[in-house]
């Protein structure tokens, strides 16, 4: 079968753009190759690999896991089912973070629950003199994050453990976190490919809870891990901004505020240590 024929056939089963990206993946072609040489033929092996990938996509598996890669803030990152696929709304955290660190200041930046490492690596690229630390409980996630750090030539001090536990009494100028915040039992967890993503990255697992258990731990430890003037910025769910601001106030943080993502949803809240 030709590349064009395989693309057409795959487009009958899945989204046309997804089909094209999978054809390109299996044949190691670029989009330009595909347009320039539509009559090139696929080997039997390529056809069977394509068929398997199209079947998985048709079964709801996210495209990023099939490609092994996803874009965030203009860069490509490796992703595996051990990590959450980066979401565009998390780019807001990057923007708020870089407004708060001097790019050439040697600031210490901490990313809690780093997952694929998109936040730590992107901040490392944008603030080349910052010193980065990234924590995750999942050793499999840390392996992905560390391959992304190498891919983008960013040096990051990775630590395995729960939230602040591997950090002793270290203090930071900026702490960012995109912790799990979807309430256990939220029907959203059954939709849009979320069942294929690591549940420990999506939900705190507390049955009948409000999804905020991890955010409570992150906010609760911030005051003793921030340097004076340092900021904590946390991503949260569409209806959690008020509750998170309340937690930040209770920790005595100043300048507490929430910021809206591109869908105009309050998506990140933060505060500063006096
Ligand atoms: N924003 C993600 C979603 O709702 C959840 C990310 C997270 O829990 N940190 O799909």
Collapsing DSSP to helix, strand or coil, 220 comes out as: helix
* CATH number assigned to the domain comprising residue 148: 3.40.50.150
Residues 40 and 86 in one domain: no
Span from the CA of 188 to the centroid of ligand 1 (angstroms): 10
Residues facing 232 on adjacent strands: 175, 271
Atom of ligand 1 nearest to the CA of 235: 9
Could you tell me if 54 and 133 lie in one domain? no
Q: Examine the domain organization and report whether 34 and 156 are in the same domain.
A: no
Structural domain of 45? 3-59
State residue 125's pLDDT score: 96
Ligand 1 neighbourhood includes 182 CB (under 6 angstroms): yes
Considering the domain boundaries, does residue 116 fall inside one? Answer: yes
Distant-in-sequence, close-in-space partners of 116: CB < 8 Å, separation ≥ 6: 70, 77, 78, 79, 83, 84, 85, 86, 141, 144, 145, 148
7 CB-near residues (< 8 Å, 6+ apart): 19, 20, 23, 34
87 and 7 in a common domain: no
> Is any ligand 1 atom within 6 A of the Cβ of residue 87?
yes
pLDDT, block means (10 residues), the chain with 274 residues: 94 97 95 92 96 98 98 98 98 97 86 98 95 98 98 98 97 98 96 96 95 98 96 98 98 98 97 96
Mutate to test the pocket of ligand 1, among 115, 182, 184, 187 (most ligand atoms within 8 A of CB): 182
Q: How many CB atoms lie within 10 A of CB 174?
A: 26
Q: Point out the ligand 1 atom lying closest to the alpha carbon of residue 197.
A: 10
Q: Are residues 54 and 85 in the same domain?
A: no
Q: Are residues 145 and 256 in the same domain?
A: yes
CA atoms of 253 and 248, how far apart (whole Å): 6
Q: Strand locations in the chain, DSSP E? A: 69-72, 75-78, 108-112, 131-136, 156-160, 172-177, 226-235, 254-260, 266-272
Question: For ligand 1, what atom is nearest to the CA of residue 192?
Answer: 10
- Quick one: pLDDT at residue 130? 96
pLDDT of residue 172: 98
Number of domains in the chain: 2
Query: Residue 105's pLDDT is what?
Result: 80
Q: In what order do the strands lie in the sheet with 266-272?
A: 156-160, 131-136, 108-112, 172-177, 226-235, 266-272, 254-260
103 and 53 within one domain: no
Does ligand 1 lie within 6 Å of residue 180's CB atom?
A: yes
- Give domain status of residue 66, yes or no: no
How much is the pLDDT for 242?
98
Q: Is 181 in the pocket of ligand 1 (CB under 6 A)?
A: yes
- Predicted TM-score (pTM) of this structure: 0.95
163 shares a domain with 193: yes
Assess whether 112 and 244 both reside in one domain: yes
């Amino acid at each position: 079968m030709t590349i064009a024929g395989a693309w057409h056939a795959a487009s009958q089963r899945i989204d046309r753009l997804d089909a094209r990206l999978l054809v390109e993946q299996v044949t190691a072609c670029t989009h330009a190759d595909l347009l320039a040489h539509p009559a090139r033929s696929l080997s039997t092996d390529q056809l069977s690999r394509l068929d398997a990938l199209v079947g998985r996509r048709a079964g709801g598996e996210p495209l990023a896991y099939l490609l092994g890669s996803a874009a965030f803030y203009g860069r490509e990152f490796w992703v595996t089912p051990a990590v959450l696929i980066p979401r565009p709304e998390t780019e807001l955290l990057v923007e708020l973070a870089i407004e708060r660190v001097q790019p050439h200041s040697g600031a210490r930046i901490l990313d809690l629950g780093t997952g694929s490492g998109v936040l730590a690596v992107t901040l490392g690229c944008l603030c080349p003199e910052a010193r980065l630390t990234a924590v995750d409980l999942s050793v499999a996630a840390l392996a992905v994050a560390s391959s992304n750090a190498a891919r983008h030539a960013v040096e990051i001090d990775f630590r395995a453990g729960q939230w602040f536990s591997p950090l002793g009494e270290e203090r930071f100028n900026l702490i960012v976190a995109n912790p799990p915040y979807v309430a256990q039992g939220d029907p959203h967890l059954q939709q849009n490919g979320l069942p294929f993503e690591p549940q420990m990255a999506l939900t705190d697992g507390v049955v009948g809870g409000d999804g905020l258990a991890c955010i409570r731990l992150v906010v609760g430890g911030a005051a003793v891990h921030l340097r004076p003037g340092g900021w904590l910025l946390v991503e949260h769910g569409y209806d959690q901004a008020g509750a998170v601001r309340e937690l930040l106030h209770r920790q005595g943080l100043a300048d507490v505020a929430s910021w809206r993502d591109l869908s105009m949803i309050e998506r990140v809240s933060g505060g500063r240590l006096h």
